[in-house]
Amino acid sequence: MKLDVPEMTCRYLEEPSLLFGGERQHVSPKQGTIRFGPRSIDMPNRHPEVVRVGFVGSGESIDSASRWLETCTPGVPGTKADPDFPGFMPDRGFFSSLRLEETLVEKITQRDMGDLKAIRTRRERFDFAVSLMDEKLRLLAERDRPPDYVVLALPREIVKESGTVDFVDKDLGAIHRDLRRALKAIAMKHRLPTQILLQDTTEAKTGSSKVDHLSKCAWNFFTGLYYKCGGIPWMPHGLPAGTCYVGISFHRLPGSKRSVYFTGLAQAFDEFGNGLVLRGQDFAWDTQKHGSSPHLPEQAAEELIGAVLKRYRDEIKQAPRRVVIHKSSSFWPEERAGIQRALGVVEQHDLISVIPTDEMRVLREARYPILRGSHVTLDRTHLLYTVGYIAALQGFPHGHVPAPLKLTEHVGDSATTTVLSEILVLTKMNWNSADFGGLLPITLKFATLVGEIMKEVPRNQVPQPQFKYYM
């Protein structure tokens, strides 16, 4: 009996470099920042030399958060796994500084907490907490000189009493709400970039197993802060000019009783890593008839991609020469037709469906797992390992057998190797952290994050397109 053995090939895609200060290159976000400074250090119109920080919280939580910042800004010793955090100072690290001003503080008072605790139901406490934070952020936003950035130093009591809530609405049915997502939505309304900083983090004892090591926390916190205040931590290197990368995702509107409606979302990035978020129209989807994975109707698909192209032209002042669209599900015929009709004005395009898979894994005959950047083909199946042994770090930071991304569909003008190499670059573009790289490209990485926050943005409110409000 003859067995059909699939033909297997394996090649290595070189680890992409990133650009830092002075357009110098390094493969590691952390080492590149340490050696060369952030990319926008020599861009006067982008580099934030001073960041005016505002606070919302109780007297205790604000004091704790302030001391945490003061501990981290000079620099934090690292570990074997994480390099030293170089600091957030004018002469090192991000070459910027924080300015903490008493005039940029809005306190959650004991009276506020008493009013919160006096409310009987958790749903009403949640609504009160959101309204309370809305008012505090409004007062900061209406200052003569609003802060550049706001630390939401949430007291433990608020997190305990109102962190999440599940309830049943008589019209909509079962609903789940999360305070973090709600706070991002109201801060967006006031155009204030924010970061939640919990007391569990700011008051953690050295060696605590409940939070990451202080150096890792500092790397992630200040990388995000620098970006949210207008800076560019690093840029991708090697992406073709004039290319717009788009991730299409969906989020289900809240309420179990209503018909199943979804909103299409697009996360769009240019070749420099600058990102925008656009919300499409709502559409009905019959999960019993078509399955749980939604697909855009033809007209909705055309309008969503048309909005992306318009926004790209508005930002870049020219149309893209090429558009690459990533989805984690297949492109249905109607969906593809609408997308390609919108792309009729673009010279080249690639439509790519890619998903993590544990159906197939490749093992090395060696001590360490397969290398990140490995491209494995089994007949016509393409696998890309975006997680694996990292030669530049001489280690494997994940602690489990890595699973690859599977290319399930590709229709377009570029070679398969080209689109996979671009995905590898885009796994390094998460400015919400300083990790070496992630499993998913940034076009799909933020899909869930953006979708959950978008649920909290009222339909009559136009969501801000800048990514800093969703991080």
Q: Residue 468 above 80 pLDDT?
A: yes
- State the Cα–Cα distance between residues 182 and 452, nearest whole angstrom: 9
- State the Cα–Cα distance between residues 23 and 25, nearest whole angstrom: 6
Beta-sheet pairing, 194-196 with 8-12: unpaired
- State the Cα–Cα distance between residues 261 and 264, nearest whole angstrom: 10
* Size of the chain, expressed as the number of residues it contains: 471
Residue with tokens 């509107």: 253
Digit-coded pLDDT (tens) for 337-366: 999 999 999 999 999 999 999 887 777 777
CA atoms within 13 A on the CB side of 183: 26
**Residue 415 or 3, more confident:** 415
Position 258 scores a pLDDT of 59
Residue with tokens 């926004």: 311
Position 171 scores a pLDDT of 78
Digit-coded pLDDT (tens) for 224-281: 999 999 999 999 998 999 999 999 988 887 776 656 767 778 888 888 888 888 888 8
Q: Residue 399 above 70 pLDDT?
A: no
Residue with tokens 């994480």: 82
Count of Cβ atoms closer than 10 Å to residue 259 Cβ: 9
In the chain, what percentage of residues exceed pLDDT 70? 97
Domain extents in the chain: 22-228, 238-469
CA-closest candidate to residue 94, choices 274, 251, 275, 221: 221
Three-state SS string over 338-362 comes to HHHHHHHHCCEEEEEEEEECCCCCC
Output the pTM of the full model: 0.92
Digit-coded pLDDT (tens) for 89-98: 999 999 999 9
Q: For 238-469, give the CATH class.
A: alpha beta
Position 257 scores a pLDDT of 62
Average pLDDT over every residue of 111-134 = 94
CA-closest candidate to residue 269, choices 159, 431, 136: 431
- State the Cα–Cα distance between residues 348 and 350, nearest whole angstrom: 7
Reduced to 3 states (helix: H, G, I; strand: E, B; else coil), residue 311 is helix
Position 239 scores a pLDDT of 92
Q: Alpha-carbon torsion 120, 122, 123, 127, what sign?
A: positive
Strand order in the sheet with 25-26: 25-26, 18-19, 235-236
